[in-house]
Structure 1
Amino acid sequence: MKKDFMFSSESVTEGHPDKLCDQISDAIVDKFLQRDPYSRVIAECAVATAIVFIAARFESDAVVDFTKTARQVIKQVGYDEPDFNAKTCSIVTSVKELTSHSYRYWDAKRLSDEEIELIPVTDQVTVFGFACNQTPAFMPLPIWLAHQLARRLTAVRQEKILPYIAPDGKTQVGIEYRDRQPYRIHSISILASQNRQSQLDLADEKILREEIKETIIDSVFEVENEEIKPDEKTRILIDFDQPFTIGGPSVHSGLTGRKNAIDTYGGYSRHSGAALSGKDPTRIDRVGAYAARYAAKNIVAAGLAEECEVQLAYSIGLARPVSIQVETFGTGKISDEEITVLLERHFDFRLAGIIKKFNLRLLSAIVKGGFYRKLAVYGHVGRMDLGIVPWEETDMVPVLLG
């Protein structure tokens, strides 16, 4: 196992075409759950120049306007260029309403333990959750910083601090590790697109780069008060490459679920490969990943390990995972086998148990503006900014230490 290495992770802004698709898909999920918390829905989206394609299968008592929802998201993200905007883009839908079944109306809060045991998963998947002590959010430092920079890149556009910035952008942070702990920032990359109305002369690139560095990079490290900051050897790349100007769906297409590493741990830990966005809470490939993160975070928060990866494997027709595995990469204060026993004893990884613990069917109605769409950009895990994210709680620490 390497102890000294360099690792980089990237994030993207909410205007990136893949993230635009994730937000449209999760906005549809929110709409269904707000009106019928027992809805079952799978919503997938693809975007390209001037066109949006939505494919959805659902079982619900709610009526959702897919086209209106998509246009609302596109407008809120900030696309108003002639090549792609909320008013004129074509929206094609392929929608199938599934046969209604009364069994979907079960209320997890009222189920007994015996009844929870009778509700199986309907998908087969292996999901992963990870946590480490590199940041206050128990996230790897590269993806944590990449998200902060991407969020700030969006903020300077929305607040018109840099009015020439367009919605599409990327960030990347490389971290040098010593003894598996962050040592210094090796590199920071920001790729920003420009809107057509305020397109600037690229001969002034030096001025543009200074503005980006001051308003985004310097601002993030001042606000975040990180112990590890850029130094004189940190490589900083700020790119206004001509082919990327304007950006968005008119330049490169987007698809729901194509940014799994950005949604999770930036590639520092494994992820299942299954899309997280666009699925209601009865899909174990989504909520199982949240449960695995919850378990891993509580293990690290309890001081039982400095790093922890939890793997859950599910098979169709069974309520419980067929396998629970723990890897602490040599940082555990007790053995991985002992930690696995603690998880099996104190955590409920059954589908209905996860929904009950996290109140997943009602969060869309409880959180103003919807819940799942907020997860669709800047990560489904490590979200210290959202307030109500139940799998980020560390309430199981006393139980694990007891």
Structure 2
Amino acid sequence: MSARSYLFTSESVSEGHPDKLADQISDAILDAFLAREPTAKVACETLVADNLIVIAGEFRTSDETLFQEVRGRAEGIARQVLTDAGYTDAATGIDPEHCEVQVRFNHQSIQINKGVVHADGTLGAGDQGLMFGFACDETPDLMPYPIWLAHRLVKRQAQLRKSGALPWLRPDAKSQVTVRYEGHKVAGIADVVISTQIERGLDPAWVTREVTREIIDPLLPLKLRTPDFRLFVNPAGPFEIGGPNGDTGLTGRKIIVDTYGGSCPHGGGAFSGKDPSKVDRSAAYMARYIAKNIVAAGIARRCLIQIAYAIGVAEPVSVMIDTQGTSHVSAEALEVAVRQVFRLTPSGIIAMLDLARPIYRQTAAYGHFGRGDIALSWERTDQIEALKSALG
């Protein structure tokens, strides 16, 4: 039987997208706590809307002084994120110097803290939940091709804007990539959408030519474009009103952009603003680490992992591996090997991946996985020999 031919689509958004501004502010607040206290408990949420930023959440530190210090710094942190993303005034999407910033910090529930931090100092899971990890051999970073390419398109948009090569670009942008597959193999790029905020008054046809020449052509090989390839640049018309002035943003609203572009399931939990005791984040990183090492070891060409936890309980309630028919090793054998090689309690994950550090703001745009541009512990492939040994 011949392999099924089908289309699959993933999207990405730029660092100037309102949802990503919210993610970056929440993770910058997290980093501010972890820089001073690696065991701080942080759950930070951000709303951006027009000329307003609201930062709220629940926090626990061993020193009340640190809590008050970061609360006092939160407004400045938010304004810096807006500036770094490229916003300069209300005309670009939000004024980082004069927008309203509201800060509403609360303390973490004592009952939650006692249920999660055990008497011996070890951690139970910060909440119940299920997390997924994935890897495949479609790209050098072992990521699905549609999301891998979508991230690179919006990242190039930002680079050209920041370098001054295309100074008429503005911070808000989105991409979408549709790939044709034959079975599990990439057969071509069928459609690409680029919606990019631009300065006012530009000719749409000229914008399309410039975007094609500077963003699309360097990243999309002609040989990979299908015969009926279509490119859409700002298909809804001029995109001049962007950023928070054009759309509201919330922390955690781009969870599929953050992960695998829909190529595998998602448990529903967001990442940004959460310290690593929250398994929504840390166990998803561990699941990626495991899947990537399995594929990098040549054990499988594709690997999907689910890990699930009960709140306050250290060991996962379940671990499931599916290599989607691409491995000669049984799923049961892999599951046993994974439990031998990888530490799956919250404390073990934090230690094995060195997560109690201020590393998170850099993950809050362009994806948490497949990031060859930054050093992330869960992207290492240093457990290949341990896995092979455990498999005998």
TM-score in same-fold range (> 0.5): yes
Deviations 1:224-249 (A, max 9, x none): xx696335531111116446323111
Match of 2:296 among 281, 298, 301: 301
Q: Is it true that 1:90 corresponds to 2:92 in the alignment?
A: no
Separation in 2 of the partners of 1:317 and 1:174?
41
**1:277, 1:376 within 8 Å by CA — same for their partners in 2?**
yes
RMSD: 2.4
Separation in 1 of the partners of 2:324 and 2:3?
10
1:97 CA displacement: 3.1
Question: For structure 1, which runs of at least 5 residues remain unmatched after alignment?
Answer: 108-113, 365-370
> Matches of residues 228-267 of structure 1 in structure 2 within 5 Å?
229-239=224-234, 241-242=236-237, 244-267=239-262
Write out the 4+ residue segments of structure 1 that deviate beyond 6 Å after TM superposition. none
> Matches of residues 284-295 of structure 1 in structure 2 within 5 Å?
284-295=279-290
Deviations 1:339-358 (A, max 9, x none): 11111221111100001111
1:99 CA displacement: 7.4
Deviations 1:109-156 (A, max 9, x none): xxxxx968x531130000000000000111000000000101001111
1:98 CA displacement: 4.0
Deviations 1:72-119 (A, max 9, x none): 101111112325111111111211134789x99x99xxxxxx968x53
**1:164, 1:200 within 8 Å by CA — same for their partners in 2?**
no
**1:131, 1:308 within 8 Å by CA — same for their partners in 2?**
yes
CA distance 1:2–1:21, change in 2 (3 Å): farther
**1:4, 1:180 within 8 Å by CA — same for their partners in 2?**
no
Separation in 2 of the partners of 1:228 and 1:334?
35
Q: Is it true that 1:320 corresponds to 2:315 in the alignment?
A: yes
Q: Alignment partner of 2:11: what SS?
A: strand
AA partner of residue 339 (structure 1): L
Q: Is it true that 1:172 corresponds to 2:180 in the alignment?
A: no
CA distance 1:219–1:129, change in 2 (3 Å): same
Separation in 1 of the partners of 2:90 and 2:163?
22
1:2 CA displacement: 7.5
Separation in 2 of the partners of 1:88 and 1:289?
37
Aligned equivalent of 1:385: 373
1:4 CA displacement: 2.2
Aligned equivalent of 1:367: none
Separation in 2 of the partners of 1:241 and 1:79?
23
Q: Alignment partner of 1:320: what SS?
A: coil
CA distance 1:265–1:151, change in 2 (3 Å): same
Aligned equivalent of 1:361: 356
Separation in 2 of the partners of 1:283 and 1:33?
14
Match of 2:89 among 78, 81, 89: 81
CA distance 1:100–1:227, change in 2 (3 Å): farther
Separation in 2 of the partners of 1:232 and 1:152?
25
AA partner of residue 200 (structure 1): G
Q: Is it true that 1:6 corresponds to 2:16 in the alignment?
A: no
Q: Alignment partner of 2:159: what SS?
A: helix
Alignment coverage as a number of residue pairs: 377
**1:131, 1:297 within 8 Å by CA — same for their partners in 2?**
yes
**2:187, 2:224 within 8 Å by CA — same for their partners in 1?**
no
CA distance 1:251–1:302, change in 2 (3 Å): same
User: Greater shift after overlay, 55-64 or 138-147?
Assistant: 55-64
**1:192, 1:240 within 8 Å by CA — same for their partners in 2?**
no
Q: Alignment partner of 1:233: what SS?
A: strand
CA distance 1:20–1:192, change in 2 (3 Å): same
**1:59, 1:100 within 8 Å by CA — same for their partners in 2?**
no
Using the size of structure 2 for normalisation, the TM-score is 0.91
AA partner of residue 318 (structure 2): S
Aligned equivalent of 1:67: 75
Aligned equivalent of 2:44: 43
Match of 1:131 among 120, 132, 135: 135
Separation in 2 of the partners of 1:93 and 1:218?
44
1:389 CA displacement: 0.6
Separation in 2 of the partners of 1:242 and 1:207?
13
Match of 1:395 among 371, 379, 382: 382
Separation in 2 of the partners of 1:241 and 1:311?
38
Using the size of structure 1 for normalisation, the TM-score is 0.89
AA partner of residue 43 (structure 1): C
Match of 1:350 among 345, 348, 373: 345
Match of 1:183 among 174, 183, 187: 187
1:317 CA displacement: 2.2
Deviations 1:147-167 (A, max 9, x none): 010100111111111111110
Q: Alignment partner of 2:225: what SS?
A: coil
CA distance 1:243–1:214, change in 2 (3 Å): closer
Identity of aligned residues (%): 40
**1:125, 1:285 within 8 Å by CA — same for their partners in 2?**
yes
User: Greater shift after overlay, 66-75 or 329-338?
Assistant: 329-338
CA distance 1:208–1:56, change in 2 (3 Å): same
Separation in 1 of the partners of 2:146 and 2:223?
11
Separation in 2 of the partners of 1:100 and 1:327?
39
AA partner of residue 193 (structure 2): S
Separation in 1 of the partners of 2:222 and 2:165?
27
1:216 CA displacement: 0.6
